[in-house]
Structure 1
Amino acid sequence: MATPSEFKPRLTLFDATMIVAGSMIGSGIFIVSAEITRSVGGAGYMLGMWVLAGLVTIIAAVSYGELAAMYPRAGGQYVYLREAYGPLPAFLYGWTFFTVIQTGTIAAVGVAFSKFTAYLLPQVGEKVVLLDAGLFQVTAAQLLAIASIVLLTYINSRGVRNGVVIQTVLTSVKILSLLGLTLAGLFYGADSAVWDANWQDAWTLSALTLDGDQLTSTALTGLAFFGAIAISMKGTLFSSDSWHSITFIAGEVRNPQRNIGLSLFLGTVIVTILYVLTNVMYLAVVPLKDIAFAPNDRVGIVAADAIFGSAGTLAIAVMIMISTFGCNNGLILSGARVYYTMAADGLFFRKAGELNRFGVPQNSLWYQCIWASVLCLSGGYNKLLALVIFGVLIFYILTIIGIYVLRVRQPHLPRPYKAFGYPFLPAIYVVVASFLALLLLLFETEYTLPGLGLILLGIPVYYLSRRKEATVPD
C-alpha cells in the first residue's frame, strides 16, 4: 500500500458532530459540580456557572464557524492564528497546545477514567502506591490512565476510520446514558423536600466547609466573590472545552465549509442542554451538602445511588468510564493533526509531518501519547484542570479577535459562513473570557503562572527552531 501524501475527506456531518460532542463530554459533568458547589454555596449560582459556560461556549463555536469555513484544512486554531497574526503567535499556540492544553486535557481525562474504574476495582485506585520516590509517587491509577492513552493512540494510528467508529459509538452511548440518567432522576428519583431545601438560599454566595457532619457556610464578598467565580468557571469551562476539536481534522471532513460550522453549533448546543439538565437533576435528587462533599467529588455516583441504589452506582461508574474513554479518543484523534501541520511549517519534529500507510500522522500521535503519559504522573485531576484552562482561554481570546483582524487584512477572502452576531457576540466572548483569564491569574496562581511561563518559554524555543531550520542545508 502506497503512503498517502495528504488527508482524504471521509467524515460526514454526523461524524463531525459526534467528534464535537464526544470530545466535550468526558469526566467534568460527573465531578466538577462538587468543587463549584463548595466554592459558591448557593444552588442558583452553581447552576448559573453551567449556564454561563454553555452560552460562552456556543458563542465561541458559532464565531469559529467563519474561520473554519475560510480555512478548511488540518490544523484548526493553529492555522487561524497563523493567518491572523503570523508564525510566532501560531507557534506559541502549538507549543502550548502540545505542552499543556491538549496533552494536559488528555492526561486529566485519563486520570478521571482511572478514578471511576477504581470505584469498581479498588486495586487500581489512587491510594495504591506502586513506587514512592520521595518527590513523587507512581500509583496504579496513573498507570491505568497511561495504559488507556497508549491503547487509544495505537487504535488511531491504524486509520482515521477506526477512531471515528469508536467515537461515534461511544458518544452515542454516553449521550443516551447521560440523558437516561437525567430523565430518571427528574421523573423517578426527584425529591421535593431535597429540591426545596437546595433552593432555600440559592442566591447566597458562600464558601462551604464541612467539619465532621457540621456544614459551615461563609459569605463571600469583595475579592473572595471573584475568586469563587474564577474557581467555578475553571471547572465548567474545562467540562465544556475541546468543542473545537473538529477544526483540527478539517481536511478529513466532507464539504467542510458547511459541515464544520454546523457540527460546531449542533455539538455545543446538545452538550450545553445536557449539562444544564444534569445539574438540575443533581439539585432535585441530592442534598446540596452531598453534592459539595461527594466522596472523591464523584457527584454522578452519589446521584445514581440516590436514584437506583447500589446497582445504579455500578452502572453509572461503567457509563462514566465509557464517557471518559470516548472523550480521550476524540482528543487523541484530533490533536495530532495540529503537530502535523506545525511540522509542515518547520515548527515541530519533522517526523510528525508524515502520514503512515493508513493516512494518519502516526509519529505525531505517539509524540502526543508520550508527553500526555508524563503529565499523568504530574498530578491529580484538579491540578491538571487548572493548568490547562488558563492557556485555553488566552488562545481562544486571540483566535476570536482574529476574526476582526482577518476582516480587515483579508476582506475579499471567501467566507461561506460569517460569524453569527458579528461584531457583538464575538466581542462579548472576548470580554467575558478575558475577565475569567484575569481572575484565574489572580486566584489560581499556583497553576496559571506555570501555564503562562510555558507560553512565554515558547518564544526562545521558536527562535531557536527557526535558527536551526535556517542552518539545515537544502
Structure 2
Amino acid sequence: MADEKGQGDAQAVANPVANGKPADDGDDDRVALKPKISLLNGVTIIVGIIIGSGIFISPQIVLKLSGSPGMSLIVWTLCGVFSMVGALCYGELGTMITMSGGDYAYILTAFGPLPAFLLLWVTLVIIRPTAQAVVAMTFGQYILQPFFSLDCPPPDIPIKILAAICITFLTFVNSYSVKWATRVQDFFTAAKVLALIVIIITGIVQLCRGKTENLQNAFEGSSSNVGDIALAMYAGLFAYGGWNYLNYVTEELKDPFRNLPRAIVISVPLVIFIYVSANISYFVAMSPAELLATDAVAVTFGDKLLGVMAWIMPVSVALSTFGGVNGLLLTGSRIYFVGARIGHLPESIAMISINRKTPLPSLVFTCILSLLYLFAQNIGQLINYFSFVTWLATGTSIAGQIYLRYKAPDMARPVKVNIILPIIFLAACIFLTIMGVYAAPVDTLIGAAILLSGVPVYFFGVWWTNKPTWILSAVQSFTIWMQKLLHCVAEEKEE
C-alpha cells in the first residue's frame, strides 16, 4: 500500500481527470499510457466482453425461470434495454470523469477513498481473477469438447492447463502492445459475431421452411412469479455483463468525448439484436424441453442443424471466451493500475514499461491472481458470492452520478443524459441487489463479509501513514526490485 498518497482527499486526487478534460494525443515521448484505442477498438472491446460464453450457455436458465419461449424473449429484450440505459449513464460518467478505472474512479470522485477502496478490494480478491479464470476454463473446455461426447466431458487437468496457457499468452500480448491487444480483441470479436450470425441465418432458413411449431403458443406456461422473473433477469443480465468495461480504459481511448458514447450506442443495440435473434434461432431448432435438457445450447444447436459442420459451435465458443479473457485482462489491469496510482495499492503496480508503454506490473499481477484461482475447486461458487456486489457497485456509481449533479453542477459534462435515466437505473440496481440477497442469503452474507474485510486493510495500508521505517523500507526495496525486474518506471506527468 502507499503511504502519504493514500491520505489525501479523494476529490483533490481525482480532480485532474474529473473535469472533463480529454487525455493528451499521445505524440510525446513520456512514459505513460497513451490514447491508442480507436472507435472500432472500443466497439470490439464492449461487444467482445459482453459476448462471452453467456449467450451460448445461459438461455437454458432464462427459459427455465421465465417458463416459456415468449417470456424468455421478453426477458432478453428487457435485459438489453436495461443494459442500454446503464451504458448511457456510464457515457456521461466516462466523459465527465475521464480517469480510467470505471466504477472505482466514479465512486472515488463522488464518495471518497474508503468506499472506492472497498470496491477495489473485492475486485482484487475475487471478482476479476475468478471471472478471468472461469472464462479461461470455459475456453479450455470448449477447445477439448470436439474430442469428447456431450455425455463424457473433458477432464479437469487438461482444461486448466489450456486455461493457464490462454491467460499467460494473452498477458504477454497485452504487455507487449496495447495495439496488439486491441487487434486480438478485434479479430476474436469478429469471429464470435460471425458464429452467432451463422446461428441466426440458420434459424431464419428454418423459419422460411416453416419450422415454427416451437414458437406457436409462445407464452404458454409463462411464469407469473415475480421472484422467478427477477432471477431470469439476473441470468440475462449476466450474459449482457461488460457493457461498462470500456470505461475502465477511458484514458487510453482516442477522443473519449466522441468515441465513448459512440461506441456505446453502436455496441449495445448490436448485442441486443444478436442475443434476441440467436434465442429465436435456438427455439426454432429445439423445443423448450430439448433446450432445458442441454447445458450447452449452442453445441446442441450445431448437432441438430449443422451436420458435419457441428464442430463450428464448440470452436466458436472457444474463440468467444478467448476474446473475452483478452478483454477482461485489458480492462481489469487498469483498475489495479489506477488504484495503485491513487495510493490504494503498492506503488509498483502503477509502474509502466519503459519500452512498451503498457502497465506491465499490473498485467503480471492480474495474471498471477487468475492463475492462482485455477487451483480452486469451485471458483464458480466464488462468483456467486459477489453477484450482489456487482450491482451494489454499479448502483453506487449511478448514485454518485446523481449526487454529483447537485454537489458539482458546474463540472463539465460533454455527454449529459436526462436525470430520469440514472434514477430509474438506480432503482433497478437496488431491486436487483435486494433480489440477490433474497435468492441467495448465505452467499450474500459471505460476500458482504469479504467486502467488509477490506475496512481493516484500508486503515492499515492507506489511512495509517506513520508506518515504522522498516515497513516503508521493505516496500521501497520491493518497488525497486520490481522496477529492475520488469524494466518499468512510474508514470511521467505531462508538463
Q: If the length of structure 2 is used for normalisation, what is the TM-score?
A: 0.83
Decide whether aligned partners of structure 1 residues 373 and 469 sit closer, same or farther in structure 2, where only a CA change above 3 A counts: farther
The C-alpha deviation readout for 1:235-287, integer Å capped at 9, x for no partner, is: 21111111211111111111112211221222111111111111111111111
Q: Does 1:151 align with 2:148?
A: no
Map residues 268-307 of structure 1 onto 2, 5 A cutoff: 268-294=268-294, 297-307=295-305
Check the 8 A contact 2:62/2:232 in 1, yes or no: yes
- How far does residue 49 in structure 1 lie from its aligned partner after superposition? 2.0
Residue identity opposite 1:34 in structure 2: Q
> In the alignment, which residue of structure 1 is the partner of 2:266?
266
Check the 8 A contact 1:115/1:141 in 2, yes or no: yes
> In the alignment, which residue of structure 2 is the partner of 1:450?
446
> In the alignment, which residue of structure 1 is the partner of 2:178?
160
Provide the rounded CA distance (Å) in 2 between the counterparts of 1:307 and 1:341: 48
> In the alignment, which residue of structure 2 is the partner of 1:64?
90
- How far does residue 428 in structure 1 lie from its aligned partner after superposition? 1.5
> In the alignment, which residue of structure 2 is the partner of 1:373?
371
> In the alignment, which residue of structure 2 is the partner of 1:171?
189
> Per the alignment, in what secondary structure is the counterpart of residue 202 of structure 1?
coil
Provide the rounded CA distance (Å) in 2 between the counterparts of 1:355 and 1:280: 47
The C-alpha deviation readout for 1:426-447, integer Å capped at 9, x for no partner, is: 1111122221221121112343
The C-alpha deviation readout for 1:4-35, integer Å capped at 9, x for no partner, is: 53211111111111111111111000001112
- How far does residue 83 in structure 1 lie from its aligned partner after superposition? 0.6
Decide which of 62, 65, 75 is 1:39's aligned counterpart: 65
Map residues 61-460 of structure 1 onto 2, 5 A cutoff: 61-122=87-148, 139-188=157-206, 192=210, 195-200=212-217, 202-205=219-222, 225-294=225-294, 297-309=295-307, 311-356=308-353, 357-379=355-377, 383=381, 385-419=383-417, 422-460=418-456
Provide the rounded CA distance (Å) in 2 between the counterparts of 1:126 and 1:389: 30
Decide whether aligned partners of structure 1 residues 268 and 276 sit closer, same or farther in structure 2, where only a CA change above 3 A counts: same
Provide the rounded CA distance (Å) in 2 between the counterparts of 1:154 and 1:45: 44
Decide whether aligned partners of structure 1 residues 438 and 458 sit closer, same or farther in structure 2, where only a CA change above 3 A counts: same
Decide whether aligned partners of structure 1 residues 173 and 102 sit closer, same or farther in structure 2, where only a CA change above 3 A counts: same
> Per the alignment, in what secondary structure is the counterpart of residue 7 of structure 1?
coil
Decide whether aligned partners of structure 1 residues 199 and 446 sit closer, same or farther in structure 2, where only a CA change above 3 A counts: farther
**Fraction of identical pairs, as percent:** 27
> Per the alignment, in what secondary structure is the counterpart of residue 453 of structure 2?
helix
Provide the rounded CA distance (Å) in 1 between the counterparts of 2:437 and 2:29: 46
Residue identity opposite 1:202 in structure 2: F
The C-alpha deviation readout for 1:385-407, integer Å capped at 9, x for no partner, is: 53343221111101111111111
Check the 8 A contact 1:27/1:323 in 2, yes or no: yes
Q: RMSD of the TM alignment (CA)?
A: 2.5
Decide whether aligned partners of structure 1 residues 63 and 402 sit closer, same or farther in structure 2, where only a CA change above 3 A counts: same
Decide whether aligned partners of structure 1 residues 107 and 246 sit closer, same or farther in structure 2, where only a CA change above 3 A counts: same
Deviates more, 1:22-31 or 1:313-322: 313-322
Q: If the length of structure 1 is used for normalisation, what is the TM-score?
A: 0.87
Provide the rounded CA distance (Å) in 1 between the counterparts of 2:468 and 2:100: 26
Provide the rounded CA distance (Å) in 2 between the counterparts of 1:62 and 1:56: 10
Check the 8 A contact 1:103/1:368 in 2, yes or no: yes
> Per the alignment, in what secondary structure is the counterpart of residue 311 of structure 2?
helix
Check the 8 A contact 1:340/1:361 in 2, yes or no: yes
Check the 8 A contact 1:400/1:426 in 2, yes or no: yes
Check the 8 A contact 2:246/2:260 in 1, yes or no: yes
Provide the rounded CA distance (Å) in 2 between the counterparts of 1:453 and 1:186: 49
> Per the alignment, in what secondary structure is the counterpart of residue 355 of structure 1?
strand
Provide the rounded CA distance (Å) in 2 between the counterparts of 1:389 and 1:203: 30
Decide whether aligned partners of structure 1 residues 83 and 289 sit closer, same or farther in structure 2, where only a CA change above 3 A counts: same
Check the 8 A contact 2:130/2:379 in 1, yes or no: no
Residue identity opposite 2:345 in structure 1: F
> Per the alignment, in what secondary structure is the counterpart of residue 352 of structure 2?
coil
Residue identity opposite 1:378 in structure 2: A
